[in-house]
Structure 1
Amino acid sequence: MAALDFYFSTLSPFTYLAGTRPWQIAARHGASLTCKPLDILALFARTGGTPPGERHPARQQYRLIELERQAAKLGLPINLKPAHWPANAAPSAYAIIAAQQAGGGDIGRLVHSILRACWAEDRDIADGAVIRACLDGAGFDPALADSGLLAGAESYAQNLEDAVKAGVFGAPFWVMADGARFWGQDRLEDLETHLAGQAA
């Protein structure tokens, strides 16, 4: 079975645009997919990236143009200036980590619902009530928002170290067990082609 690590931030609009496609692709090719949410600002600092708010105005403007274009292409609603962005991403990341460890729900739906809460619904993903609602909606125990804090914090820090070691520098980012890397929701087709070649 092909193994796939999925590095992302719950603050990332491009991860939101990936939707649930990563899980659909993995399922089609019998691949395992492990969610590895991380601190994107710390990743930028470690790998030479620049946070969106510190980029040249031309880059900031084009980022918004690209987000709007891609959202329209994918048929996804998007608010380019969400009310609660950037929020503290750690609590939502901890919940995803805890849910993945607990099992029993739809992890792809959980991840997308958290991102959608920020980028389409103007909800605060640092709010425990929002996180619990997302957990419940994806079939997980809402109490994971609280019970998974310690383990989530440890894994969240480790995910950053794993990302840097694997050559990850942005989000969303997929790393295969064979070392193949794919950056950006617009590279999911390439990821699927690679998986198809492995399964052939």
Structure 2
Amino acid sequence: MAHIDYYFATLSPYTYLAGTRFEAIAAKHGASVSYKPLDVVALFGRTGGTPPKDRHPNRVQYRAQELVRQAKKLDMPFNLKPAHWPTNAAPSSYAIIAAQAAGGGDLGALVHAVLRAVWAEEKDIAQDDVIKACLSEAGFDPSLADSGLLSGAETYARNLEEAVDKGVFGAPFYIVDGDQRFWGQDKLDDLDMHLSGDL
């Protein structure tokens, strides 16, 4: 059975556009998943990337068109300029880390609820009430938003270091069995084919 390390950022529009397709692919192939939220801006700085605010206008304009096109293609609600972006991604990431440790809910649904809050619902995922609502929606105890903060912070920082060591440079990023790397929501079909043994 394959294992997938899933590196992502709770502020990433491309992670949002992955929707729940990744979870469906993992379930189809019986793959286990470790969810690894990280600070994608810090990752850019470590791996030669440029944060969106510092990119050349040509890249900014293309990104704006491409995000809207991909959202339409996937039939997903999407706001190119959400009211609460960027915001502090750490609290939502800590909650996901705590939920993964606690179990009992649907982790993929939690990740998607947090991302949907940013990119479709005009909510601030740095706010405690927003995080608790996402936890509840995904079947987790909302008090997880207040627990394990030190452990969450340590894991969040460790995920970044691990990502750099494993060749990650963006989000979403999927690594199968510690070796095969797939970057971006537009590579999910390739991930599916790889898990099927066709690629």
TM-score range, shorter chain: over 0.9
Match of 2:144 in 1: 144
> Does 2:95 match 1:95?
yes
Q: In 2, Cα distance between the equivalents of 1:97 and 1:51?
A: 24
Match of 1:70 in 2: 70
| CA-to-aligned-CA distance 1:57-78 (integer Å, 9 cap, x gap) | 1100110100000000001000
Match of 1:43 in 2: 43
Q: In 1, Cα distance between the equivalents of 2:103 and 2:113?
A: 17
Match of 2:117 in 1: 117
Q: In 1, Cα distance between the equivalents of 2:146 and 2:164?
A: 28
Q: In 2, Cα distance between the equivalents of 1:116 and 1:24?
A: 18
| 8 Å Cα contact 2:5-2:176 kept in structure 1 | yes
Match of 1:26 in 2: 26
Count of residue pairs the alignment pairs up: 198
Structure 1 residue runs of 5 or longer lacking an equivalent are none
> Does 2:131 match 1:131?
yes
Q: In 1, Cα distance between the equivalents of 2:71 and 2:53?
A: 21
Cα distance, 1:151 vs structure 2: 1.2
Cα distance, 1:177 vs structure 2: 1.2
Match of 2:104 in 1: 104
TM-score (norm 1): 0.98
| 8 Å Cα contact 2:2-2:31 kept in structure 1 | yes
Identity %: 69
> Does 2:179 match 1:169?
no
Cα distance, 1:174 vs structure 2: 0.3
| CA-to-aligned-CA distance 1:45-94 (integer Å, 9 cap, x gap) | 10000000100011001101000000000010000000000000000000
Q: In 2, Cα distance between the equivalents of 1:110 and 1:196?
A: 26
Q: In 2, Cα distance between the equivalents of 1:13 and 1:148?
A: 27
Cα distance, 1:149 vs structure 2: 1.0
Q: In 2, Cα distance between the equivalents of 1:15 and 1:104?
A: 23
- Aligned AA (2:140): F
| 8 Å Cα contact 2:5-2:178 kept in structure 1 | no
Cα distance, 1:178 vs structure 2: 4.6
The SS at the match of 1:88 is: coil
Q: In 2, Cα distance between the equivalents of 1:111 and 1:149?
A: 18
Aligned-residue Cα RMSD (Å) equals: 0.8
Q: In 2, Cα distance between the equivalents of 1:100 and 1:66?
A: 32
Q: In 1, Cα distance between the equivalents of 2:110 and 2:174?
A: 18
| CA-to-aligned-CA distance 1:125-170 (integer Å, 9 cap, x gap) | 0000000000001000000001121111111000001100110000
- Aligned AA (2:115): L
Question: Which runs of structure 1 show a deviation greater than 6 angstroms over 4 or more consecutive aligned residues?
Answer: none
TM-score (norm 2): 0.98
